């Protein structure tokens, strides 16, 4: 779903691509999912997707959650009945493992919902799809070059304009994943965009993938810069614990949290 406001935001970013960008190398921050029991969700992800689980707040990072390197996956507690990720502007997230066949065997033994069997893409990587118990679509891959948390996969019209929006807002490295798929890389996470081909995508807030997150060393300065470019702030910079946070709206209603945190 692309609101008139979102369309204006995209246009503003396209026009501003040659302007100085204070936020040009903003590191990827976090992923915030929803679950009926966040502790159970963190345990499920640690068991099936790896990572390092933490149960209490880790500094300004609210637990429970799972760290993949220094990127946390976190959960918002909600009653059952919220929609999954499919149909929203963030279709799925991806994790990579050194032996996908072994991982799939473990999923089958554990009763994990497998929605697509393993496919080999021209000998460059292997992938399959599973779904977590709260409706999040997950691509599981065998890509030795990027193990652990691998990618975020968006879906929307005119992918090139979506890439331009994210690149202008958060920097990233333009590349082609395996020389095949256009992408932005926020080391080590890939951002991919699939053309929705006329399908109307829902905003992410209230879905199982509720929002994405990027970090900034100076969030007040970033707010000034992004506001000047026409980006929509749905929550202005606000004090949170010992840091600052804000929320903006990305193309297609992707909810994005901005967090004041040191650069990596």
- Domain at 165, CATH number: 3.10.180.10
Across residues 3-16, what is the average pLDDT? 44
Element (H, E) at 40: helix 38-49
Q: For strands 254-260 and 65-68, give the pairing.
A: unpaired
Number of domains in the chain: 1
Residue 2 lies in a domain: no
User: DSSP label at 35?
Assistant: E
Please give the pLDDT value at position 62: 83
> Confidence band (pLDDT; 50, 70, 90) for 61?
confident
Residue 156 lies in a domain: yes
Across residues 105-128, what is the average pLDDT? 98
190: which 2 tokens? 């890939």
Q: Report the mean per-residue pLDDT for the chain.
A: 91
Residue 10 lies in a domain: no
Residue 148 lies in a domain: yes
Across residues 94-107, what is the average pLDDT? 98
Write out pLDDT tens, residues 194-213: 999 999 999 999 999 999 99
Q: What share of the chain in percent tops pLDDT 70?
A: 89
Domain that holds residue 132: 25-253
SS3 call for 169: helix
Closest CA to 149 of 78, 67, 80, 60: 67
Residue 3 lies in a domain: no
Stated pTM of the model:
0.89
Write out pLDDT tens, residues 132-162: 999 999 999 999 999 999 999 999 999 999 9
Residue 189 lies in a domain: yes
Residue 204 lies in a domain: yes
**pLDDT tops 70 at residue 29:** yes
Closest CA to 250 of 167, 138, 145: 167
Residue 16 lies in a domain: no
């Amino acid at each position: 779903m692309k609101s008139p406001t979102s369309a204006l935001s995209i246009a503003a970013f396209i026009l501003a691509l040659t302007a100085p960008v204070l936020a040009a190398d903003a590191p990827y921050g976090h992923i915030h999912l929803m679950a009926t029991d966040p502790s159970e969700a963190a345990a499920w992800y640690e068991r099936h997707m790896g990572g390092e689980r933490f149960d209490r707040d880790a500094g300004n990072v609210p637990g429970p959650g799972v760290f993949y390197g220094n990127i946390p996956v976190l959960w918002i507690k909600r009653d059952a009945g919220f929609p999954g990720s499919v149909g929203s502007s963030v279709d799925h997230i991806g994790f990579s493992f050194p032996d996908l066949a072994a991982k799939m065997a473990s999923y089958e033994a554990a009763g994990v919902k497998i929605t697509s069997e393993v496919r080999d893409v021209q000998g460059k990587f292997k992938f399959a799809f599973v779904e977590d118990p709260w409706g999040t679509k997950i691509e599981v891959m065998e890509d030795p070059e990027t193990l652990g948390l691998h990618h975020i996969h968006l879906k929307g019209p005119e992918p090139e304009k979506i890439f331009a929006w994210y690149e202008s807002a958060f920097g990233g490295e333009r590349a082609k994943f395996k020389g095949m798929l256009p992408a932005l890389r926020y080391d080590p996470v890939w951002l991919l965009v699939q053309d929705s081909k006329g399908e109307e995508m829902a905003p992410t807030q209230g879905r199982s993938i509720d929002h994405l997150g990027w970090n900034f060393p100076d969030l007040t300065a970033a707010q000034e810069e992004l506001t000047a470019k026409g980006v929509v702030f749905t929550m202005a910079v606000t004090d949170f614990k010992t840091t600052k946070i804000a929320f903006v709206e990305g193309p297609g209603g992707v909810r994005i949290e901005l967090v004041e945190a040191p650069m990596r």
